[in-house]
Structure 1
């Protein structure tokens, strides 16, 4: 029985993989939190990987606090770049399949068309720069790695945009939401399924792939879609990014082109509204 190591097991994607693992009993699953696979401690990481001895690694662990990363650039680089190189080297040495999760923040946001995997990367914040450095380092030491870039991730687990907006729509009379950053959300449960579809495919075609739900929207439009489901009467106003300054710059446009993962792996990508309804339906069940 092949053993799958999931790093970042307590995060949104790791938690969704844990739910999904019940449907994949042909594998032995090892869900590692930051104490079991310490991406922030390079001196013990290699030994931890040797001790777990996985056949497959799904690397969902990352430093994802985008604004905080501006002040903690060194730590973000250790976790998002240097640790990923060690994992990729380990996978290459032991001929282990490795799927590594990356981000739309590797782009500068100046494109006007959906970004393919070949689009030029030019990160505009520390988080994006460290994730891109991780991609490059991993590809350099392990040509057999498969990297999936994703965007605007949410789920019923952890803290995320959907859960925050759901709460604010109930608490406030008016809400200002950025309307000049364009992309597409990703329901972590859908991404988890896509990862398993890739893993169970007869062919393993390494390289970089994009995955997010279908749709081209702003954060403002995303909140309107959430409000459509909740029925809350809060007045939602679109505001420019300049009205909501953050320590880290965000790409103004980071819509991902999913053609490659659909063609190579035959993956069906759900629309963002369909997935949002699913997630919010589960949240409603959990809160009742």
Structure 2
């Protein structure tokens, strides 16, 4: 089995790379924007012909929410047109696509878990670009899994967990917002689930929501990081309901995992449990 992982320099791609070392029965092809530009359709075609790909995990994305407001064309080029290119080549070569999307396709006006049946209504340019990518996949390709996730973090790259962990070594006070509620998601858990889909050779195609279980504000997340790191007593943690950003963000984006639980035999961890597991690794 041959799996192409695009955008593999990002935190999810790097988590998949860790797991790949234990999968001797699978050939992985890890690419970044330099080795495979998804906005260049001919390059994707050539890569497929050369390597006889069976599955694509598309982690490639323009993810800077703030900058997407200032340069929406760049966000659309990668998150929509690039995804369209991948979907078209996957269809041509009968390849299954696992595409990563986001909770930011929702407006955050609900106060109960978002299901896959809820109508997407993005409120920022990043969310809109990701929704267009989803729509292209659904229109073009039958053999697809669109996996929406939220508040992704890991031991790799730039993310909230890494920021709090690193700044807690040099800073003795944090002021963290309570204005948003969602679910922190360990990218290592998402990577495990993606490979589970492939190894089960699932044909339960469609849109799925994957995050860890439970919910939190960013303040709750920061507090748990400090508690598990043994640093909460050394650091003052303050709440604020003011969180000024250029891009609008959904104030509530907890995702329902019911569909995954019904279709896959996969144990999803509570976010606190998964965070503890990562810190103790």
Provide TM-score, normalisation by structure 2: 0.95
Shift in Å, 1:273? 1.2
Q: Distance in 2 between matches of 1:224 and 1:22?
A: 33
Q: Distance in 1 between matches of 2:44 and 2:96?
A: 18
Q: Distance in 1 between matches of 2:96 and 2:224?
A: 37
Residue 66 in structure 1 maps to residue 65 in structure 2: yes
| Alignment correspondent of 1:268 | 267
Residue 86 in structure 1 maps to residue 85 in structure 2: yes
In structure 2, list runs of 5 or more residues that go unmatched. Answer: none
Count of residues in Structure 1 that have an aligned counterpart in Structure 2? 279
| Alignment correspondent of 1:10 | 9
CA 1:183–1:192 in structure 2 vs 1: closer, same or farther (change >3 Å)?
same
Say if 1:37 and 1:49, in contact at 8 Å, map to a contact too.
no
SS at 1:148 equivalent:
strand
CA 1:247–1:43 in structure 2 vs 1: closer, same or farther (change >3 Å)?
farther
| Alignment correspondent of 1:56 | 55
| Alignment correspondent of 1:133 | 132
Shift in Å, 1:40? 4.0
Say if 2:39 and 2:81, in contact at 8 Å, map to a contact too.
no
For residues 245-271 of structure 1, the C-alpha deviation after alignment (integer angstroms, 9 at most, x for no partner) is 112111100000001011101221001
Shift in Å, 1:51? 3.5
| Alignment correspondent of 1:286 | none
CA 1:248–1:50 in structure 2 vs 1: closer, same or farther (change >3 Å)?
farther
Correspondence 1:173-184 to 2 at 5 A: 173-184=172-183
Shift in Å, 1:202? 4.5
| Alignment correspondent of 1:205 | 204
| Alignment correspondent of 1:25 | 24
Q: Distance in 1 between matches of 2:189 and 2:254?
A: 17
Say if 1:170 and 1:234, in contact at 8 Å, map to a contact too.
no
| Alignment correspondent of 1:161 | 160
In structure 1, list runs of 5 or more residues that go unmatched. Answer: 283-288
Say if 2:38 and 2:86, in contact at 8 Å, map to a contact too.
no
| Alignment correspondent of 2:280 | 281
